[in-house]
Amino acid sequence: MVSPVVVDGRLTREKLDELLALGAEHAELDFKATLDLTTPGHRLGLVKDLIAMSNAGSGGYVVVGVNEDGTVATGVPAVDATQFDSADLAQQIGRHVVTAPVVTSQRHEVDGRMLVLIHVAPPVSHLPAIISKSGEYADGKRMKVVLVEGVLYIREGTHTVTATDGHWMQMLTKYRAGVVSETREGIDALIAKVVDGLGETTAGTRLVPLAIEMDDATFAEAVQPYFDAPEGQNKLRRFLRTLRATAGVANADARTQEAALNKLCIAAAQAVFSDARESFGFTLDLIYDLYIESVGSFDGDYATQTTAEYWLSILLRLLAIGATAVTTRAWWAIEPLVNKGVTEGYPVWLRHAIVHASRANLLSGGGREAAMVLVRARALVVTNPTIAPGLEGATTVGDDQELPKSDSLLNALCQFDYLWCTVAVATHPDKGDPQLFYPSCAALFQERSNPLITLLAMSEGVRQGVLPNTPTTQWAEAMDRVMEVAINQSHQYRAWWNGFGYDYRVESFVKGDPLTRILGG
């Protein structure tokens, strides 16, 4: 199961809210109502949990001062945040393992109570830490052992357990990936040089043989000449069809499945970036085929966990492609990204994926559930920027920093999110909201989406580029309907959207001022 916890190392208030909104503990997230590190049992228990999270490969978070459902704990001793200094925590862990993982912490006041957010990173070597010195304390007349020398601890579900041979594969996944990555470095560098150094064909373009084993960055560079070369388009289509066969939900090899799906989406994104409309349409249709094929005979309220995870993986990539379309002003690509139906009740596949990811608890169980879609899409692009060309360079934000309002990647995701919802309404004006659209951007500040909202209101060219021959009144009504839902939803996220009043021209356009609509055209 894909965890809804995004372990990105941030310790900001925004990150804390995101974690609390999950409403439940996970392997990478532990809630503790109270801790007193002057008490040996509390201190050693926290050390044990942090080491176990680190050994699991991805690291994790501990939030001190909250109940198991993520609500602020009351009726228990207040947390003394001064006990959780990052250097002190590292020192405590360092007493029991040879190489201690990096631990950082930050205090936040929530509802009048002090909470502490702790992040533990995975080992730099990707090798699990073995307890080198036992940890025990006197419990009455008996000694209670918490840490046993020579033992490995790991998270299993929401519990810390002693590792067995059955856990080795999980603990060594990152290490194995590192070895493979190092092995591939020389090969990928050689391929990149070949791509860069090949002579031109008679048509004036370079056509490098494409392969699923290619590094994604090299593939993104190699696929671009295929869009323009007449002899390349047919070759590209044949190759993309082989990717479709590998990227299907039935492929039990998760590694090759993800590699094939990534390359399909990279090809679609690069086609958007290069204004290669035919190649984009063909590739998007293949991705849609994969989605519909995975629906199969499913006809109920809840999909299987595997299927919901698969739909979410496609959704995140579609959001990234949409963000590229917004950034590059490739308005022609928007409507095809939106209007692909799954069932009679779900005429928009993006909404279908969000609903089932939520029902499968892949996003969160709390108030910021919608924001998790955009946060996770951003994390995907940070890891693989080739999926969103034009938005490269985004990095993980520092531990003590909020995601800035100037974050171009997250802003582009928010703007596409508002746009796809508006397009869904404009093209299905009689369809009910719950199964048609959901503005995930409402969980984040409205300022991130405003540039796109303004552009829609003030540019007839943009509106016609997105939906040709759609009346202005239909656009205005759709924008108003999406905004109404966004305002209502934003209140529970504390994002506090306030409508179109930020610009009187936009408000006049949406509310029906004929002069503004004429000027906007």
What is the DSSP secondary-structure string of 247-266? HSTT---HHHHHHHHHHHHH
Helix (H) or strand (E) holding 353: helix 349-359
Q: State which amino acid sits at residue 291.
A: Y
Rounded Cα gap, residues 121 and 51, in angstroms: 10
Query: What is the amino acid identity at position 341?
Result: G
CA distances (Å), 448 to each of 409, 433, 488, in order?
10, 23, 17
Could you tell me how far CA 83 lies from the centroid of its own chain?
33
Helix (H) / strand (E) containing 57: none
DSSP H or E run through 161: strand 159-162
* CA pair distance 380, 320, nearest whole angstrom: 8
Question: What does the alpha-carbon distance between residue 381 and residue 410 come to, in Å, rounded to a whole number?
Answer: 10
17-54 pLDDT tens trace: 999 999 999 989 999 999 999 999 999 999 999 999 98
Supply 1's token pair.
């199961």
Could you read off the pLDDT of 244-288 as tens digits, one per residue?
Answer: 999 998 888 888 999 999 999 999 999 999 999 999 999 999 999
What is the pLDDT at residue 201?
A: 47
The residue-averaged pLDDT of 498-505 equals 93
Taking every pair of Cα atoms in the chain, the longest distance, rounded to a whole number of angstroms, is 87
Q: Give the pLDDT confidence score for residue 272 in this predicted structure.
A: 97
By C-alpha distance, which of 33, 17, 20, 24 is closest to 3? 24
Tell me if the domain spanning 13-171 has CATH number 1.10.3470: no
Query: Do the strands 29-32 and 60-64 form a parallel or antiparallel pair, or are they unpaired?
Result: parallel
DSSP label at residue 476 = H
Report d(CA 242, CA 286) in Å as an integer.
10
The pLDDT of residue 478: 96
Q: Which helix (H) or strand (E) holds 444?
A: none
DSSP string, 16-28: HHHHHTT-S-BTT
Residue 168 confidence (pLDDT): 67
Using a cut of 0.85, tell me whether the model's pTM lies above it.
no
Contacts 24+ apart (CB under 8 A), 301-308: 301/359, 302/356, 302/359, 302/360, 303/356, 303/359, 303/360, 305/1, 305/360, 306/249, 307/249, 307/356, 308/356, 308/357, 308/359, 308/360, 308/362
Confidence category of residue 242, pLDDT binned at 50, 70, 90: very high
DSSP 498: -
What was the pLDDT predicted at 365? 42
Nearest-5° Cα angle at 418, 287 to 325 = 50
Cα separation of 138 and 84, whole Å? 23
Distance of alpha carbon 474 from alpha carbon 469, whole angstroms: 10
Encode pLDDT of 373-432 as tens digits. 898 899 899 889 999 998 876 665 544 456 677 889 999 999 999 999 999 999 998 887
pLDDT of res. 285: 97
- The answer, yes or no, to whether residue 504 has pLDDT greater than 50, is yes
- Residue 188: band (very low, low, confident or very high) from pLDDT cuts 50, 70, 90: low
C-alpha angle 67-68-73 in degrees, rounded to nearest 5:
0
Cα distance between residue 37 and residue 42, in whole Å: 6
3-state secondary structure of 15: helix
Question: What stretch(es) of the chain map to CATH 3.30.950?
Answer: 13-171
Indicate the length of the chain as a whole number: 521
